[in-house]
Structure 1
Amino acid sequence: MAERGQRTAPDGVPARIGQVVMLHHGGDREEARRRLLDLWTELGEHGDPLHRCTLAHYLADTHDDPEDELAWDLRALTAAEEQRESVAVRALYPSLHLSLAADYAKLGRLAAARTHVRRARAAADVLVDDGHGAGVRAAIGRLELRLGDGGPGEELGIPSRRGG
């Protein structure tokens, strides 16, 4: 434990994940996947659950195969469950369940997709009223409509800042 007045080294994992996500968003999906997998190996199965959750969630987006994407999103949810009372983790649940719903929809597993989109909607109350929160809520609404879930979707009038 650091003594009073000493500084501890900041946790660099979130920044490292963020750098790789920027690489992915810049179009280098293969390199992003490779770097995220290297970081996953470095963290190990006993690494910080929030880091593993975030990392697996982003890793899912780097995969083309819907089964692989689902496997990584399930790893993200499993890691989140280890710290379910954490405010930071609770804020990830809407996006985690939305991703799982989309994964299951791609695989034609509509009952599972509907279950997760309902969970995403139920968890969305923790989202901040900002561009990200509005975007996630709008995406939940679009998927609810696509799945015929009967959720509130567009009738809530929640605009998307992501253009749709």
Structure 2
Amino acid sequence: MEDDVMVRVTAAVRRGQAGERAAARHDLAAMWAEVERGGGDDFHRCVIAHFMADLQESGREELMWDERALAAVDGVSDERAQEFHASLRVRGFMPSLYLSLADDHRRLGDPDRAREFLAKARATSDALGEDAYGELVRGAMDKISRALTEGSTEPLPDH
């Protein structure tokens, strides 16, 4: 099934990765407004919010978007996710969603909340595949764990 919202999300994410962060943020904000008006569903909300978080300039804004992504995932079924890609399972989203929140709280100076979300990420990490994405998320868990041990609130490289 061709999903116009996801096509536009993918294009916006690519813009952000190419260094056009403000333009990508603008595009995703417009899509968020559209889905909030009924032009999308919780799958769209979860994906848009997850990627929007990575484009924020402030830690508080990033946390807000990551919280929106986590709230939206409750309304996503495996069947809905598989309409976009047959391999997707909602449980596979959870390690990354929790990990994003762990890192947000760590950078905002709340190590206790960060550890709670890191524990949730680790508890759901069995849903990750033995592929590049799974390795990326597991590696980020280790980096966040080390940063928490060191008491660092600095952004992590490549995260």
Deviations 1:21-80 (CA, angstroms, capped at 9, x unpaired) = 000000000000000000001111653111110100000011111000000000000001
TM-score by length of 2: 0.83
Matching residue's letter, 2:8 = R
Contact 1:60 1:69 in 2 (8 A): yes
Establish whether residue 50 from structure 1 lines up as the match of residue 43 from structure 2. yes
Q: In structure 2, what is the equivalent of residue 13 of structure 1?
A: 5
Matching residue's letter, 1:78 = A
Within 2, Cα distance between the matches of 1:19 and 1:41? 17
Q: Highest relative contact order (Cα 8 Å, sep 6+), 1 or 2?
A: 2
Q: Which has the larger radius of gyration?
A: 1
Aligned-residue identity in percent: 37
Within 2, Cα distance between the matches of 1:163 and 1:62? 14
Q: In structure 2, what is the equivalent of residue 131 of structure 1?
A: 132
1:64-143 equivalences under 5 Å are 64-83=57-76, 86=78, 88-143=89-144
Within 2, Cα distance between the matches of 1:45 and 1:130? 37
Establish whether residue 38 from structure 1 lines up as the match of residue 30 from structure 2. yes
Deviations 1:93-116 (CA, angstroms, capped at 9, x unpaired) = 111111000000111011100000
Query: CA RMSD for the aligned pairs?
Result: 2.1
Q: In structure 2, what is the equivalent of residue 157 of structure 1?
A: none
Give the length in aligned residue pairs: 143
Q: Whose helix proportion is higher, 1 or 2?
A: 2
After TM superposition, the runs of 4+ consecutive aligned structure 1 residues lying more than 6 A away are: none
- Give structure 1 stretches of 5+ with no counterpart: 1-8, 150-161
TM-score by length of 1: 0.80
